[in-house]
Amino acid sequence: MLDKTLSLNGKIWFETPDGKLLGHGRVELLERIQQSGSLRQAALQMKMSYRQAWDMINYMNEHFGAPVVISHRGGKGGGSAELTEKGLKAIEQFKLFQQKFQEFLKTNSPLIQI
Amino acid sequence: MLDKTLSLNGKIWFETPDGKLLGHGRVELLERIQQSGSLRQAALQMKMSYRQAWDMINYMNEHFGAPVVISHRGGKGGGSAELTEKGLKAIEQFKLFQQKFQEFLKTNSPLIQI
């Protein structure tokens, strides 16, 4: 339709030669762990299984060069989890590049000529 | 692992308020139609059904403001298809922004500090 505006959109992620390491979804998982102090709670909020969430965290812990989340099993409430300095830095960096990317999209979107 | 390099990657697409309109896959479909002169051949090469390919083209024809592909049914070989000026322009524009995006990734990737 002629009255609809064409715009540029996309997504970015951090990767290693092994594949995707950190994108929008995993950043959300990390943030929810940070806020709730619980991997189980974070998984629940994102409607994923504990196992799925744990696998993601485990993958990141192995591929970031150092753990991004440390979990403490057992105790009242079924254990807790917290982000390491590395994990906090990963979120901060992703958001920085996400912001740059949004600026890229905003700058280029009006230039589409079809 | 510490010895693995973290890099920035991602993908872009053109969209309307209705959703994605043109990304890497559809550009490939258009290019294969252009090269083969046949929607059926292009679909076959991309391992998609004729119906899937036709639906994609139909969606683009409706949302680009003017057709990107014109098909001629019947005749020897089962009809032909060709890109319109609009279709060629869409490919050209997508590749232009894809190139800008690759430059964005290349510039920013070495700046990741985690």
pTM (two decimals) = 0.89
A46-105 residues touching B, CB cutoff 8 A: 62-65, 86, 89-90, 93, 97, 100-101, 104-105
Overall CATH class of domain B19-103: mainly alpha
Interface test with B, best of A1, A2, A5, A6 (most B CBs within 10 A): A6
- Spatial neighbors of A70 by CB under 8 A, at least 6 apart, are A81, A82, A84
Instruction: Please tell me the distance from the alpha carbon of residue B61 to that of residue A7, in angstroms, as a whole number.
Output: 17
Positive or negative torsion for Cα A98, A102, A105, A107 = negative
DSSP line for A30-94: HHHHHHHS-HHHHHHHTT--HHHHHHHHHHHHHHSSS-SEEEE-STTTT-EEEE-HHHHHHHHHH
**Cross-chain residue pair B1–A65, CB shorter than 8 Å:** yes
Distance from CA of A39 to the nearest CA of B (A): 22
Full pLDDT tens readout for chain A, 114 residues: 334 589 999 999 999 999 999 999 999 999 999 999 999 999 999 999 999 999 999 999 999 989 999 988 766 666 799 999 999 999 999 999 999 999 999 999 999 998
CA B95-B100-B104 angle, 5° bins:
140
- ipTM of the complex, rounded to two decimals: 0.89
Distance from CA of B52 to the nearest CA of A (A): 21
Distance from CA of A83 to the nearest CA of B (A): 14
Full pLDDT tens readout for chain B, 114 residues: 334 589 999 999 999 999 999 999 999 999 999 999 999 999 999 999 999 999 999 999 999 999 999 988 766 666 799 999 999 999 999 999 999 999 999 999 999 998
Q: For position B1, what pLDDT does the model report?
A: 39
**Cross-chain residue pair A16–B10, CB shorter than 8 Å:** no
Question: Shortest CB distance from B8 goes to which of A89, A97, A105?
Answer: A97
Nearest chain A Cα to B21, which residue? A6
DSSP state letter for A56: H
Question: Is A20-104 a CATH 1.10.10.10 domain?
Answer: yes
